[in-house]
Structure 1
Protein backbone atom coordinates (compact mmCIF):
# COMPACT_ATOMS: atom_id res chain seq x y z
CA UNK A 1 0.00 0.00 0.00
CA UNK A 2 2.76 2.44 0.91
CA UNK A 3 4.51 1.62 -2.37
CA UNK A 4 1.42 2.74 -4.28
CA UNK A 5 1.18 5.94 -2.23
CA UNK A 6 4.79 6.78 -3.05
CA UNK A 7 4.24 6.05 -6.74
CA UNK A 8 1.22 8.37 -6.97
CA UNK A 9 1.79 11.80 -8.54
CA UNK A 10 -0.72 14.20 -6.97
CA UNK A 11 0.03 16.96 -9.50
CA UNK A 12 -1.10 14.87 -12.47
CA UNK A 13 -3.31 12.35 -10.62
CA UNK A 14 -1.21 9.56 -12.09
CA UNK A 15 -0.16 6.26 -10.56
CA UNK A 16 3.31 5.60 -12.02
CA UNK A 17 4.12 1.90 -12.28
CA UNK A 18 6.82 -0.16 -13.97
CA UNK A 19 4.37 -1.80 -16.38
CA UNK A 20 2.57 1.43 -17.30
CA UNK A 21 0.97 4.48 -15.74
CA UNK A 22 -2.64 4.79 -14.65
CA UNK A 23 -4.27 8.20 -15.01
CA UNK A 24 -6.79 8.40 -12.17
CA UNK A 25 -9.93 10.31 -13.21
CA UNK A 26 -13.34 10.37 -11.47
CA UNK A 27 -14.94 8.29 -14.21
CA UNK A 28 -12.32 5.57 -13.71
CA UNK A 29 -12.76 5.58 -9.94
CA UNK A 30 -16.51 5.16 -10.36
CA UNK A 31 -15.91 1.70 -11.78
CA UNK A 32 -14.77 0.60 -8.34
CA UNK A 33 -17.85 1.58 -6.39
CA UNK A 34 -20.87 2.08 -8.63
CA UNK A 35 -22.63 0.12 -11.35
CA UNK A 36 -23.71 0.69 -14.90
CA UNK A 37 -27.42 0.76 -15.52
CA UNK A 38 -28.77 -2.71 -16.30
CA UNK A 39 -29.31 -3.45 -19.97
CA UNK A 40 -32.79 -4.25 -21.19
CA UNK A 41 -33.28 -8.02 -21.38
CA UNK A 42 -36.15 -9.04 -23.66
CA UNK A 43 -36.22 -12.48 -22.00
CA UNK A 44 -36.81 -10.93 -18.59
CA UNK A 45 -40.59 -10.64 -17.94
CA UNK A 46 -40.06 -7.80 -15.44
CA UNK A 47 -38.07 -5.76 -17.96
CA UNK A 48 -40.67 -6.33 -20.65
CA UNK A 49 -43.49 -5.33 -18.29
CA UNK A 50 -41.72 -2.09 -17.27
CA UNK A 51 -40.93 -1.22 -20.88
CA UNK A 52 -44.55 -1.77 -21.89
CA UNK A 53 -46.09 0.17 -18.97
CA UNK A 54 -43.86 3.21 -19.37
CA UNK A 55 -43.69 3.36 -23.16
CA UNK A 56 -44.48 6.94 -24.33
CA UNK A 57 -45.80 7.90 -20.92
CA UNK A 58 -46.56 11.63 -20.79
CA UNK A 59 -44.90 14.03 -18.38
CA UNK A 60 -48.27 15.04 -16.91
CA UNK A 61 -48.93 11.38 -16.09
CA UNK A 62 -45.61 11.13 -14.26
CA UNK A 63 -46.39 14.25 -12.22
CA UNK A 64 -49.86 13.00 -11.31
CA UNK A 65 -48.54 9.63 -10.12
CA UNK A 66 -45.76 11.21 -8.03
CA UNK A 67 -48.35 13.37 -6.26
CA UNK A 68 -50.83 10.56 -5.60
CA UNK A 69 -48.72 7.41 -5.37
CA UNK A 70 -49.57 5.13 -2.40
CA UNK A 71 -46.45 4.60 -0.29
CA UNK A 72 -47.71 2.14 2.31
CA UNK A 73 -46.48 -0.99 0.52
CA UNK A 74 -43.14 -1.90 -1.05
CA UNK A 75 -44.52 -2.15 -4.59
CA UNK A 76 -45.92 1.37 -4.27
CA UNK A 77 -42.55 2.73 -3.15
CA UNK A 78 -40.81 1.03 -6.07
CA UNK A 79 -43.31 2.55 -8.50
CA UNK A 80 -42.83 5.97 -6.91
CA UNK A 81 -39.08 5.69 -7.45
CA UNK A 82 -39.57 4.83 -11.12
CA UNK A 83 -42.00 7.67 -11.76
CA UNK A 84 -39.92 10.20 -9.81
CA UNK A 85 -36.67 9.26 -11.58
CA UNK A 86 -38.34 9.42 -15.00
CA UNK A 87 -39.89 12.78 -14.16
CA UNK A 88 -36.52 14.24 -13.11
CA UNK A 89 -34.80 12.86 -16.20
CA UNK A 90 -37.52 14.06 -18.55
CA UNK A 91 -37.87 17.60 -17.20
CA UNK A 92 -34.43 18.44 -15.84
CA UNK A 93 -31.51 16.02 -16.05
CA UNK A 94 -31.97 14.58 -19.57
CA UNK A 95 -34.84 16.58 -21.09
CA UNK A 96 -36.13 16.13 -24.62
CA UNK A 97 -38.44 18.21 -26.79
CA UNK A 98 -41.10 15.50 -26.86
CA UNK A 99 -43.95 15.42 -24.33
CA UNK A 100 -43.40 11.70 -23.75
CA UNK A 101 -40.46 9.91 -22.19
CA UNK A 102 -37.87 8.39 -24.50
CA UNK A 103 -37.19 4.63 -24.59
CA UNK A 104 -33.67 5.17 -23.25
CA UNK A 105 -35.15 6.92 -20.20
CA UNK A 106 -36.85 3.67 -19.24
CA UNK A 107 -33.61 1.69 -19.08
CA UNK A 108 -32.61 3.69 -15.98
CA UNK A 109 -35.58 2.36 -13.97
CA UNK A 110 -35.38 -1.34 -14.75
CA UNK A 111 -33.93 -1.87 -11.26
CA UNK A 112 -34.66 0.79 -8.64
CA UNK A 113 -33.86 -1.25 -5.53
CA UNK A 114 -30.83 1.01 -4.94
CA UNK A 115 -30.74 3.91 -7.44
CA UNK A 116 -27.79 5.60 -5.71
CA UNK A 117 -25.40 2.89 -6.89
CA UNK A 118 -25.56 3.97 -10.54
CA UNK A 119 -23.35 6.47 -12.36
CA UNK A 120 -25.92 9.26 -12.64
CA UNK A 121 -23.53 12.19 -13.29
CA UNK A 122 -21.77 10.28 -16.05
CA UNK A 123 -25.10 9.22 -17.56
CA UNK A 124 -26.36 12.82 -17.57
CA UNK A 125 -23.11 14.12 -19.06
CA UNK A 126 -23.06 11.49 -21.81
CA UNK A 127 -26.66 12.27 -22.77
CA UNK A 128 -25.88 16.01 -22.89
CA UNK A 129 -22.80 15.49 -25.04
CA UNK A 130 -24.77 13.26 -27.40
CA UNK A 131 -27.52 15.89 -27.66
CA UNK A 132 -25.01 18.65 -28.43
CA UNK A 133 -23.34 16.45 -31.03
CA UNK A 134 -26.71 15.92 -32.75
CA UNK A 135 -27.44 19.65 -32.60
CA UNK A 136 -24.10 20.57 -34.15
CA UNK A 137 -23.89 17.92 -36.85
CA UNK A 138 -27.55 17.42 -37.77
CA UNK A 139 -28.39 21.14 -37.60
CA UNK A 140 -31.33 20.51 -35.28
CA UNK A 141 -33.52 23.46 -34.36
CA UNK A 142 -33.18 22.71 -30.65
CA UNK A 143 -30.61 21.17 -28.33
CA UNK A 144 -31.77 18.68 -25.73
CA UNK A 145 -29.92 17.53 -22.62
CA UNK A 146 -29.11 19.22 -19.32
CA UNK A 147 -28.18 22.62 -20.75
CA UNK A 148 -28.82 24.16 -17.34
CA UNK A 149 -25.72 22.30 -16.17
CA UNK A 150 -23.58 24.06 -18.78
CA UNK A 151 -25.17 27.36 -17.87
CA UNK A 152 -24.35 27.00 -14.17
CA UNK A 153 -20.78 25.91 -14.95
CA UNK A 154 -20.40 28.96 -17.19
CA UNK A 155 -21.71 31.31 -14.49
CA UNK A 156 -19.64 29.52 -11.86
CA UNK A 157 -16.48 30.23 -13.84
CA UNK A 158 -17.43 33.87 -14.35
CA UNK A 159 -17.98 34.27 -10.62
CA UNK A 160 -15.14 32.19 -9.18
CA UNK A 161 -12.53 31.86 -11.93
CA UNK A 162 -10.95 28.50 -12.76
CA UNK A 163 -13.30 25.72 -11.67
CA UNK A 164 -10.44 23.46 -10.61
CA UNK A 165 -9.64 25.99 -7.86
CA UNK A 166 -13.24 26.79 -6.91
CA UNK A 167 -13.79 26.66 -3.14
CA UNK A 168 -17.60 26.82 -3.36
CA UNK A 169 -19.17 23.98 -1.32
CA UNK A 170 -20.67 21.26 -3.49
CA UNK A 171 -23.09 20.78 -5.08
CA UNK A 172 -22.52 24.06 -6.91
CA UNK A 173 -26.07 24.13 -8.24
CA UNK A 174 -27.45 24.69 -4.75
CA UNK A 175 -25.58 28.01 -4.51
CA UNK A 176 -27.66 29.55 -7.33
CA UNK A 177 -31.24 30.75 -7.13
CA UNK A 178 -33.44 31.46 -10.15
CA UNK A 179 -33.20 35.18 -9.34
CA UNK A 180 -29.39 35.07 -9.27
CA UNK A 181 -29.26 33.15 -12.56
CA UNK A 182 -31.54 35.71 -14.19
CA UNK A 183 -29.48 38.61 -12.85
CA UNK A 184 -26.28 36.98 -14.11
CA UNK A 185 -27.81 36.37 -17.52
CA UNK A 186 -28.63 40.08 -17.91
CA UNK A 187 -24.94 40.94 -17.77
CA UNK A 188 -23.80 38.65 -20.57
CA UNK A 189 -24.58 37.70 -24.14
CA UNK A 190 -28.18 37.36 -25.41
CA UNK A 191 -27.59 33.73 -26.34
CA UNK A 192 -27.18 32.82 -22.70
CA UNK A 193 -30.34 34.73 -21.81
CA UNK A 194 -32.18 32.57 -24.34
CA UNK A 195 -30.58 29.50 -22.79
CA UNK A 196 -31.82 30.50 -19.34
CA UNK A 197 -35.35 31.13 -20.63
CA UNK A 198 -35.43 27.76 -22.33
CA UNK A 199 -34.26 25.95 -19.20
CA UNK A 200 -37.58 26.55 -17.43
CA UNK A 201 -39.79 23.46 -16.95
CA UNK A 202 -42.89 22.79 -19.03
CA UNK A 203 -45.84 25.15 -18.73
CA UNK A 204 -48.39 22.78 -20.21
CA UNK A 205 -48.64 19.56 -22.14
CA UNK A 206 -49.58 21.08 -25.47
CA UNK A 207 -47.69 24.28 -26.05
CA UNK A 208 -45.29 25.19 -23.23
CA UNK A 209 -41.61 24.39 -22.93
CA UNK A 210 -41.03 20.80 -21.84
CA UNK A 211 -37.58 20.99 -20.33
CA UNK A 212 -34.11 22.47 -20.57
CA UNK A 213 -33.88 22.27 -24.33
CA UNK A 214 -32.38 25.13 -26.28
CA UNK A 215 -33.87 26.37 -29.51
CA UNK A 216 -31.76 28.23 -32.05
CA UNK A 217 -33.53 31.52 -32.75
CA UNK A 218 -30.68 33.24 -34.55
CA UNK A 219 -31.33 34.79 -37.95
CA UNK A 220 -29.54 32.71 -40.63
CA UNK A 221 -29.92 35.42 -43.28
CA UNK A 222 -26.85 37.51 -44.19
CA UNK A 223 -26.65 41.06 -42.82
Structure 2
Protein backbone atom coordinates (compact mmCIF):
# COMPACT_ATOMS: atom_id res chain seq x y z
CA UNK A 1 0.00 0.00 0.00
CA UNK A 2 1.44 3.31 -1.05
CA UNK A 3 0.89 6.57 0.73
CA UNK A 4 -0.34 8.68 -2.17
CA UNK A 5 -2.20 11.53 -0.57
CA UNK A 6 -1.93 15.03 -2.04
CA UNK A 7 0.56 15.46 0.32
CA UNK A 8 -1.36 13.42 1.13
CA UNK A 9 -0.40 4.56 17.09
CA UNK A 10 -1.25 4.99 20.61
CA UNK A 11 -1.51 3.83 24.09
CA UNK A 12 -3.24 5.20 27.15
CA UNK A 13 -1.37 7.98 28.89
CA UNK A 14 -1.82 6.28 32.21
CA UNK A 15 0.03 3.23 30.90
CA UNK A 16 2.91 5.32 29.63
CA UNK A 17 2.55 3.63 26.25
CA UNK A 18 1.86 6.81 24.40
CA UNK A 19 3.12 7.47 20.93
CA UNK A 20 4.79 10.45 22.53
CA UNK A 21 7.07 8.04 24.32
CA UNK A 22 7.61 6.13 21.10
CA UNK A 23 8.61 9.13 19.04
CA UNK A 24 9.28 11.59 21.81
CA UNK A 25 6.70 13.93 20.37
CA UNK A 26 3.14 12.63 20.60
CA UNK A 27 0.43 11.31 22.94
CA UNK A 28 -2.03 8.49 22.39
CA UNK A 29 -4.52 6.21 24.04
CA UNK A 30 -5.67 2.63 24.52
CA UNK A 31 -9.28 2.46 25.65
CA UNK A 32 -12.22 0.59 24.21
CA UNK A 33 -14.52 2.85 22.15
CA UNK A 34 -17.67 4.30 23.59
CA UNK A 35 -20.83 4.52 21.52
CA UNK A 36 -20.17 7.70 19.57
CA UNK A 37 -20.44 8.83 15.99
CA UNK A 38 -17.78 6.93 14.02
CA UNK A 39 -15.26 8.57 11.76
CA UNK A 40 -16.47 9.12 8.24
CA UNK A 41 -15.17 6.53 5.82
CA UNK A 42 -16.63 7.77 2.56
CA UNK A 43 -13.29 9.08 1.34
CA UNK A 44 -10.94 6.56 -0.27
CA UNK A 45 -8.00 5.61 1.96
CA UNK A 46 -5.54 6.81 -0.65
CA UNK A 47 -5.76 10.05 -2.58
CA UNK A 48 -3.49 10.62 -5.53
CA UNK A 49 -2.23 14.05 -6.38
CA UNK A 50 -3.62 15.24 -9.73
CA UNK A 51 -1.16 15.17 -12.58
CA UNK A 52 0.14 18.40 -14.01
CA UNK A 53 -1.40 19.76 -17.16
CA UNK A 54 -5.04 20.19 -16.14
CA UNK A 55 -6.77 23.36 -15.04
CA UNK A 56 -5.82 22.67 -11.42
CA UNK A 57 -2.17 22.96 -12.43
CA UNK A 58 -2.70 26.60 -13.38
CA UNK A 59 -4.00 27.93 -10.08
CA UNK A 60 -2.81 28.24 -6.53
CA UNK A 61 -4.72 26.24 -3.93
CA UNK A 62 -7.71 27.85 -2.28
CA UNK A 63 -6.42 28.92 1.13
CA UNK A 64 -9.76 28.77 2.90
CA UNK A 65 -9.37 29.86 6.52
CA UNK A 66 -11.37 26.82 7.59
CA UNK A 67 -8.57 24.60 6.28
CA UNK A 68 -5.39 26.56 6.94
CA UNK A 69 -4.11 28.97 9.56
CA UNK A 70 -2.89 32.34 8.34
CA UNK A 71 0.65 31.42 9.40
CA UNK A 72 0.64 28.50 6.95
CA UNK A 73 -0.60 30.32 3.88
CA UNK A 74 2.69 31.74 2.64
CA UNK A 75 4.26 28.29 2.83
CA UNK A 76 1.33 26.76 0.96
CA UNK A 77 1.70 29.34 -1.77
CA UNK A 78 5.42 28.55 -2.06
CA UNK A 79 4.62 24.83 -2.35
CA UNK A 80 1.95 25.53 -4.96
CA UNK A 81 4.38 27.64 -6.98
CA UNK A 82 6.91 24.81 -6.93
CA UNK A 83 4.34 22.11 -7.65
CA UNK A 84 1.44 23.34 -9.75
CA UNK A 85 -0.50 20.11 -9.21
CA UNK A 86 -0.75 20.74 -5.46
CA UNK A 87 -4.39 20.93 -4.35
CA UNK A 88 -5.19 21.99 -0.80
CA UNK A 89 -8.64 20.40 -0.66
CA UNK A 90 -7.35 17.01 -1.75
CA UNK A 91 -4.47 17.28 0.68
CA UNK A 92 -6.81 17.86 3.63
CA UNK A 93 -8.93 14.85 2.69
CA UNK A 94 -5.85 12.74 2.04
CA UNK A 95 -4.25 13.64 5.36
CA UNK A 96 -7.43 12.56 7.12
CA UNK A 97 -7.19 9.13 5.50
CA UNK A 98 -3.46 8.92 6.21
CA UNK A 99 -3.98 9.72 9.91
CA UNK A 100 -6.43 6.84 10.22
CA UNK A 101 -4.29 4.41 8.25
CA UNK A 102 -1.10 5.11 10.19
CA UNK A 103 -2.81 4.81 13.57
CA UNK A 104 -4.47 1.55 12.62
CA UNK A 105 -1.26 0.12 11.18
CA UNK A 106 0.58 0.91 14.42
CA UNK A 107 -2.15 -0.55 16.60
CA UNK A 108 -2.23 -3.74 14.52
CA UNK A 109 1.56 -4.00 14.38
CA UNK A 110 1.53 -3.73 10.58
CA UNK A 111 5.12 -2.70 9.98
CA UNK A 112 4.91 -3.28 6.24
CA UNK A 113 2.24 -0.60 5.85
CA UNK A 114 4.07 1.76 8.17
CA UNK A 115 7.23 1.48 6.08
CA UNK A 116 5.31 2.78 3.07
CA UNK A 117 3.58 5.54 5.01
CA UNK A 118 6.45 6.94 7.11
CA UNK A 119 9.98 8.14 6.60
CA UNK A 120 12.85 6.04 7.99
CA UNK A 121 13.17 7.70 11.40
CA UNK A 122 9.46 7.59 12.18
CA UNK A 123 9.20 4.03 10.91
CA UNK A 124 12.12 2.88 13.07
CA UNK A 125 10.47 4.33 16.18
CA UNK A 126 7.14 2.69 15.40
CA UNK A 127 8.80 -0.65 14.64
CA UNK A 128 10.77 -0.60 17.90
CA UNK A 129 7.59 0.02 19.90
CA UNK A 130 5.72 -2.73 18.05
CA UNK A 131 8.53 -5.22 18.68
CA UNK A 132 8.57 -4.32 22.38
CA UNK A 133 4.82 -4.82 22.58
CA UNK A 134 5.13 -8.18 20.88
CA UNK A 135 7.88 -9.29 23.27
CA UNK A 136 5.62 -8.49 26.21
CA UNK A 137 2.74 -10.33 24.56
CA UNK A 138 0.51 -7.28 24.62
CA UNK A 139 -2.17 -6.47 22.06
CA UNK A 140 -4.09 -3.27 21.43
CA UNK A 141 -7.75 -2.92 20.57
CA UNK A 142 -7.73 0.77 19.75
CA UNK A 143 -10.22 2.60 17.62
CA UNK A 144 -10.29 6.04 16.09
CA UNK A 145 -13.81 7.04 17.05
CA UNK A 146 -13.93 10.27 15.13
CA UNK A 147 -11.93 13.22 13.85
CA UNK A 148 -13.50 16.45 15.03
CA UNK A 149 -11.31 18.92 13.17
CA UNK A 150 -8.39 19.09 10.74
CA UNK A 151 -6.34 22.23 10.22
CA UNK A 152 -3.10 23.05 8.43
CA UNK A 153 -1.01 24.90 10.98
CA UNK A 154 2.30 25.24 9.14
CA UNK A 155 3.72 24.79 5.66
CA UNK A 156 7.28 25.18 4.40
CA UNK A 157 9.10 24.81 1.13
CA UNK A 158 12.86 24.37 1.24
CA UNK A 159 13.85 23.34 -2.26
CA UNK A 160 13.14 20.63 -3.13
CA UNK A 161 11.34 19.49 0.04
CA UNK A 162 7.78 20.49 0.86
CA UNK A 163 6.47 19.99 4.39
CA UNK A 164 2.94 20.55 5.60
CA UNK A 165 1.94 20.25 9.27
CA UNK A 166 -1.63 19.23 10.07
CA UNK A 167 -3.42 19.39 13.41
CA UNK A 168 -5.86 16.57 14.09
CA UNK A 169 -8.37 16.92 16.93
CA UNK A 170 -9.80 13.45 17.48
CA UNK A 171 -11.32 11.00 19.93
CA UNK A 172 -9.49 7.70 20.41
CA UNK A 173 -10.79 4.73 22.39
CA UNK A 174 -8.58 1.81 23.29
CA UNK A 175 -7.94 -1.32 25.27
CA UNK A 176 -4.69 -3.17 26.01
CA UNK A 177 -4.53 -6.88 26.84
CA UNK A 178 -1.73 -9.11 28.09
CA UNK A 179 -0.55 -12.39 26.58
CA UNK A 180 -3.39 -14.28 28.30
CA UNK A 181 -6.05 -11.96 26.95
CA UNK A 182 -6.59 -10.17 30.26
CA UNK A 183 -7.36 -6.45 30.17
CA UNK A 184 -4.47 -4.58 31.73
CA UNK A 185 -5.48 -1.05 30.78
CA UNK A 186 -8.11 1.04 29.13
CA UNK A 187 -11.85 1.33 29.43
CA UNK A 188 -14.82 0.09 27.44
CA UNK A 189 -16.90 3.12 28.34
CA UNK A 190 -14.68 6.07 27.52
CA UNK A 191 -12.68 7.69 24.75
CA UNK A 192 -9.90 10.25 25.11
CA UNK A 193 -9.49 13.51 23.21
CA UNK A 194 -6.22 13.78 21.31
CA UNK A 195 -4.64 16.82 19.70
CA UNK A 196 -1.85 15.86 17.32
CA UNK A 197 0.28 17.73 14.82
CA UNK A 198 1.70 15.53 12.07
CA UNK A 199 4.07 16.81 9.40
CA UNK A 200 4.05 15.25 5.94
CA UNK A 201 6.84 15.75 3.44
CA UNK A 202 7.56 15.24 -0.25
CA UNK A 203 10.35 16.01 -2.70
CA UNK A 204 8.39 18.01 -5.27
CA UNK A 205 11.07 17.45 -7.89
CA UNK A 206 10.77 13.68 -7.57
CA UNK A 207 8.80 11.65 -10.10
CA UNK A 208 7.05 10.00 -7.14
CA UNK A 209 3.81 11.65 -6.09
CA UNK A 210 3.97 10.09 -2.63
CA UNK A 211 4.11 12.00 0.66
CA UNK A 212 5.25 10.42 3.94
CA UNK A 213 4.88 11.11 7.63
CA UNK A 214 8.03 12.97 8.64
CA UNK A 215 7.35 14.10 12.21
CA UNK A 216 4.74 13.90 14.96
CA UNK A 217 3.95 16.17 17.84
CA UNK A 218 1.18 16.69 20.41
CA UNK A 219 -0.54 19.86 21.57
Normalising by structure 2, what TM-score? 0.24
Structure holding more strand per residue: 2
Structure holding more helix per residue: 1
Normalising by structure 1, what TM-score? 0.23
Larger radius of gyration: 1
Pick 1 or 2: higher relative contact order, CA cutoff 8 A, min separation 6. Answer: 2
